């Protein structure tokens, strides 16, 4: 006879009901948490989401979080958006959080900037792959073909 491997049934594991509050996010006691990954867990939309994407977590000391925002998008850091971000962050962490935002003239290492840099790297890799493709090289050499730069798209 053939042997069947069966996974043991999961018992005693409570599944969260729909609409249940998600588990709180664990943060290290010291150091600066990864703002990009934490941002992915926050339920934000509209201008508040754009605020969160465009700020850099500078320091965290207990419940006090200090962020940097570039001057060109400082309008996102208005009182209403800041309060909504603070409320959602407090909810996710399961403890009160006090947010402070400082405007800076230089660019910041925000999730939005990191995403743009990753997209540029993907585009650069796609352009390089096209240029190095043997068929593309042969077409360029034999027929004088050229690549329309705007037509290159990285695979999704």
| 98 membership: H or E segment, kind and range | strand 98-104
Number of Cβ within 10 Å of residue 35's Cβ equals 21
Q: Which residue has the higher pLDDT, 134 or 149?
A: 134
> Taking the complete model, does pTM exceed 0.75, yes or no?
no
- Kindly report, residue by residue over 66-116, the tens digit of the pLDDT: 999 999 888 988 999 999 999 999 998 899 999 998 888 887 878 777 777
Tell me the H-state helices in 18-154: 35-39, 46-53, 79-93, 111-132, 134-143
Residue 32 confidence (pLDDT): 58
User: What separation, in Å, do the N-terminal and C-terminal C-alpha atoms of the chain show?
Assistant: 46
Give φ, ψ of 65 to 5 degrees.
-115, 130
Contact between 55 and 77 (Cβ < 8 Å) = yes
């Amino acid at each position: 006879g053939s042997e069947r491997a069966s996974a043991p049934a999961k018992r005693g594991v409570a599944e969260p009901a729909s609409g249940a509050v998600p588990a709180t996010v664990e943060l290290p006691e010291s150091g600066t948490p990864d703002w990009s990954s934490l941002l992915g867990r926050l339920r934000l939309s509209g201008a508040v989401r754009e605020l969160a994407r465009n700020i850099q977590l500078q320091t965290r000391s207990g419940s006090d979080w200090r962020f940097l925002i570039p001057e060109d998008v400082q309008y996102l850091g208005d009182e209403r958006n800041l309060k909504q971000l603070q409320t959602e962050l407090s909810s996710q962490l399961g403890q009160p959080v006090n947010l402070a935002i400082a405007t800076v003239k230089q660019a910041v290492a925000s999730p939005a900037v990191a995403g743009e840099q990753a997209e540029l790297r993907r585009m650069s890799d796609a352009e390089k792959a096209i240029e190095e493709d043997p068929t593309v090289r042969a077409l360029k050499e034999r027929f004088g073909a050229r690549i329309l730069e705007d037509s290159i798209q990285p695979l999704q």
